[in-house]
Amino acid sequence: MATSWGAAFFVLVASCVCSTVFHRDQQTWFEGVFLSSMCPVNVSASTLYGIMFDAGSTGTRIHVYTFVQKIPGQLPFLEGEIFDYVKPGLSAFVDQPKQGAESVQELLEVAKDSIPRSHWKRTPVVLKATAGLRLLPEEKAQALLFEVKEIFKKSPFLVPDDSVSIMDGSYEGILAWVTVNFLTGQLHSHSQETVGTLDLGGASTQITFLPQFEKTLEQTPRDYLTSFEMFNSTYKLYTHSYLGFGLKAARLATLGALETEGIDGHTFRSACLPRWLEAEWIFGGVKYQYGGNQEAGAVGFEPCYAEVLRVVQGKLHQPDEVQRSSFYAFSYYYDRAVDTDMIDYEKGGVLKVEDFERKAREVCDNLENFTSGSPFLCMDLSYITALLKDGFGFAGSTILQSTGAYVLHCKPVGSHQEGSRVRWLKAQARAPA
C-alpha cells in the first residue's frame, strides 16, 4: 500500500517527542524514517505541526497534522488533520520524474495554507514511497525521489537528509500497528493486550499482530518476526508485507497480465468482468486492454473465484493464531464495503468475512445487470474474500466491526466488542479508486 495513515501519524508523533526507540536485528531501523534533528527547537511548544506525503501506487496523499502538547515531555495528542491528494501516483511518471515532482509541489501549497507562517521553518516534511515505487527499477525510482527532494529543498519547511525515501513494506505494517494501538490506548496499559492490523493497498498488503502463543513464534519464518522497545515495554511482532498482493496488483495477476510478454494489442479477459465489456486501464504507467469472457456460461462468481484463488492459494503464510485474535482492517477493505453499501461511509457497520463472499456472489452472478463505478467490483470482492479466507486463513464467521471511515475492526466470534476511540481516522480517506 501506500504509506498507511498509521505510518504517517506515528512517525510524526515520534519526530516531535523524540522518545521512542525501535530495534530490528540489534540495529536501530527507525533512524532514517525521522531524525532527532526534526524535533522542534522548543519541544514544550503547545502546538506542533507535521507534514507527511504518502506516495502510493494509486496516488500521492498529503497529511498535514496538528498536535497539541499539554504537558512538556509527554506525548502530544492529535488535534486535527488536513488531507488532500493527487492522482495518479508517482510511479505513473516513471519516465517523467520532473512531472511527478510537480504533483508534489501542488500539494505543498496545501501545507502552506494550513500551517501558520511562523511555524514553517520548524515543521518537518517527509515523503515515504511504498509498493508503487518498490516495483520500479531502482534507477527510475531514485530519479523520481531525487526530483521530489529538490522540490522539498525549495520549500520553507524543515527538510532532513532522509526526508524522501522508499519505506520497506514491513515498516508499513509495524507503524500502522503502533498507531492503532497507540490511539486505542493499548500501548499505555503495558498489558500487551493489543489488536492486529490488516492493510490492503494497491500494490501490496500487510498483516501485523503481537503473537500470544509460543507455538506461533516457533512456526513463523524468522524474517516475519521483529522486536522493538517502546514505552518501557518490549514487543515481538509478527509482520509481513506481500508485494504484488495489493488490490490493483491482484487484478493484473488475475488477468494474467503479469506473465504475458508483449502486451501491446493484447486484450486480457476474465470471468470476473461483464461479458460485453471492452475497456482499457492504466496502472503504474502501463496501459492494459481488458474485457469479459465472451463464451456462454464463463462468467459469474464460481469461475471468477477460481481465477482469484490462483493468485493467493498456497502463497501466504497462515498463522493459526489469527483465528483467535482481534484485528483492525482498513484501506481497500473499507472502500469496497462502502462501495457495495455493506456499511455506511460515515456510520460504518458490522460485517463478517463471509459477508464479502455473499456480496461477491450477488455482484458476480448479476454482472450483466449490476451497475457500478468500477467494472472490477466483482473481481475486487472475490479477491478480498480469497485473500482473507484462503490467503490469511480467517474463518468466514470472523466479525468485522467498522469503527470509522477506512477502518474495520475485526474480532473473532464471541469476543467483547469495545468502543472505538479512532473516529478521527475518517478524515484520512485514501484517494478514490
Q: Is 419 annotated as a binding residue?
A: no
Question: According to the annotation, is 202 in a ligand binding site?
Answer: yes
Omega before residue 88 within 30° of 0, cis: yes
Asked whether 80 and 47 are in contact (CB, 8 A), the reply is no
In the chain, the amino acid numbered 221 is P
Angle at 90 between CA 88 and CA 95, to 5 degrees: 105
**Does residue 383 register a pLDDT over 70?**
yes
Mapped onto helix, strand or coil, the DSSP state of residue 77 is strand
Sheet holding 225-230, edge to edge: 225-230, 233-243, 204-209, 196-200, 327-331, 407-411, 399-404, 350-352
pLDDT at 378 over 50: yes
Q: Which residues neighbour 54 within 8 Å (Cβ) at sequence distance 6 or greater?
A: 2, 3, 4, 5, 7, 8, 60, 61, 62, 63, 128, 130
State the average pLDDT for the chain: 79
User: Rounded to 5 degrees, what are φ and ψ at 147?
Assistant: -65, -35
284-326 pLDDT, tens per residue?
778 899 998 877 667 899 999 999 999 999 999 999 999 888 8
* Contact in structure between 248 and 204 (CB atoms under 8 Å): no
Q: Is 33 helix (H, G, I), strand (E, B) or coil?
A: coil
308 is written with which cell numbers? 482469484
pLDDT in tens, 78-124: 778 888 989 888 988 989 999 999 999 999 999 999 999 999 999 99
pLDDT in tens, 140-159: 999 999 999 999 999 999 99
Would the annotation count 46 as a binding residue? Answer: no
Identify whether 102 is a catalytic site residue: no
Residue 314 is predicted with a pLDDT of 95
pLDDT at 408: 56
Contact criterion met (CB below 8 Å) for 392 and 207 = yes
Q: Are 354 and 410 in contact (CB under 8 A)?
A: no
* Distance in angstroms (rounded) separating the CA atoms of residues 362 and 381: 10
pTM for the model stands at: 0.78
From the candidates 172, 307, 321, 357, give the one annotated as an active-site residue: 172
**Of 80, 78, 81, 86, nearest to 61 (Cα)?**
86
